[in-house]
Amino acid sequence: MSKLKLAVMISGRGSNLQALIDACAPPGFPAEIILVLSNRPGAKGLDRATEAGIPTKVIDHKNFTDRAAFDAEMTAAMEGAGTDLVCLAGFMRLLSDEFVDHWRDRMINIHPSLLPAFKGLDVQERVLERGARFAGCTVHYVRKEMDTGPIIVQAVVPVLADDTPDDLAARILVREHEIYPLAVRLIAEGRVSIDEKDRAVIAGAVSSEKSVVNPVG
């Protein structure tokens, strides 16, 4: 059976890229990374890809006069590589509506909150400011509106009384590295579909019925 071909788009250190590289390493994993694309020439994630023997390509957004041309170049590179699924992993550029439409239901993102809560940037600062008792992360399909789209997998972590934004972000990042490969595997196995309400439906999904309370007393 052929593997799902992934293109991973990055702008920085690529920690979620590394999680995907590690997940794809065993022969039995149903996906493989065929291209790592960055808009920043010095992105550390490019080194991670090179060390793993994965082809890389830099498309510097500064070399383009408009976003449409930049997006078209990215699409051409990924289609030329035979991409089935685009994985955004810390890609810090807004995508055009045309680009999102072109890759509809073939592009996923990971966000460090329990969407639809806390979209955008400075997430953990806002979580702490609002006094939320839980935080987490979400893998979702990409839509035109930022941090929207059908939710595939989420993970929850408690907010601790003495948390700083960095503490909380670090604890969430551990879960990000778990759920991004999980989401890719579910898609690669053909278990994810989009229903008429634009929700992701997972075939054979098993959910925990255990509830969690924070604080406990």
**30 CB burial (10 A radius; 0-12, 13-18, 19+):** middle
Q: For position 213, what pLDDT does the model report?
A: 92
For the four alpha carbons of 57, 60, 65 and 70, in that order, the dihedral sign comes to positive
Instruction: Quick: pLDDT tens for 178-193.
Output: 999 999 999 999 999 9
- When mean pLDDT is compared across 99-103, 135-139, 163-167, 211-215, the lowest value belongs to 211-215
Angle, helices 15-24 vs 44-51, to 10°: value is 10
For the four alpha carbons of 12, 153, 134 and 119, in that order, the dihedral sign comes to positive
**Percentage of the chain exceeding pLDDT 70:** 100
Q: Choose one of 43, 75, 103: the last residue of a domain.
A: 103
Query: Are 158 and 90 in the same domain?
Result: no
Whether the link from the prior residue into 215 is cis, omega within 30° of 0, is yes
Expressed as residue numbers, the domain containing 115 is: 109-204
Query: Are 126 and 190 in the same domain?
Result: yes
Helices (H), the chain: 15-24, 44-51, 67-81, 97-102, 123-130, 165-188
Q: Choose one of 47, 72, 103: the last residue of a domain.
A: 103
Query: Are 43 and 132 in the same domain?
Result: no
Angle, helices 123-130 vs 165-188, to 10°: value is 120
Q: For position 168, what pLDDT does the model report?
A: 98
140 annotated active-site? no
| Within a domain: 214 | no
Query: Are 56 and 89 in the same domain?
Result: yes
Query: Are 98 and 1 in the same domain?
Result: yes
Instruction: Quick: pLDDT tens for 82-110.
Output: 999 999 999 999 899 999 999 999 999 99
Query: Are 28 and 113 in the same domain?
Result: no
Cβ pair 151, 81 in contact under 8 A: no
| Within a domain: 210 | no
CA distance linking residue 8 with residue 44, whole number of Å: 14
Q: Choose one of 103, 130, 155: the last residue of a domain.
A: 103
Q: For position 209, what pLDDT does the model report?
A: 81
Query: Are 5 and 98 in the same domain?
Result: yes
Task: Name the CA radius of gyration of the chain, rounded.
Answer: 17
Cα 179 versus chain centre, distance: 9
| Within a domain: 162 | yes
CA distance linking residue 32 with residue 29, whole number of Å: 8
Q: Which of 61, 102, 111, 177 is catalytic?
A: 111
- 10 pairs with which residues across the strands? 38
Instruction: Quick: pLDDT tens for 7-36.
Output: 999 999 999 999 999 999 999 999 999 999
Residue range 145-151: average pLDDT?
96
Query: Are 38 and 7 in the same domain?
Result: yes
Query: Are 24 and 60 in the same domain?
Result: yes
| Within a domain: 149 | yes
| Within a domain: 16 | yes
Tally of structural domains, the chain: 2
Q: For position 126, what pLDDT does the model report?
A: 98
Query: Are 55 and 23 in the same domain?
Result: yes
Query: Are 80 and 113 in the same domain?
Result: no
Tokens (6 digits) for 181: 């490969």
Q: For position 207, what pLDDT does the model report?
A: 84
CA distance linking residue 202 with residue 150, whole number of Å: 11
| Within a domain: 216 | no
For the four alpha carbons of 28, 34, 40 and 42, in that order, the dihedral sign comes to positive
| Within a domain: 54 | yes
CATH number at residue 99: 3.40.50.170
| Within a domain: 40 | yes
CA distance linking residue 150 with residue 199, whole number of Å: 5
Q: For position 61, what pLDDT does the model report?
A: 94
pLDDT band with cut points at 50, 70 and 90 for residue 216? confident
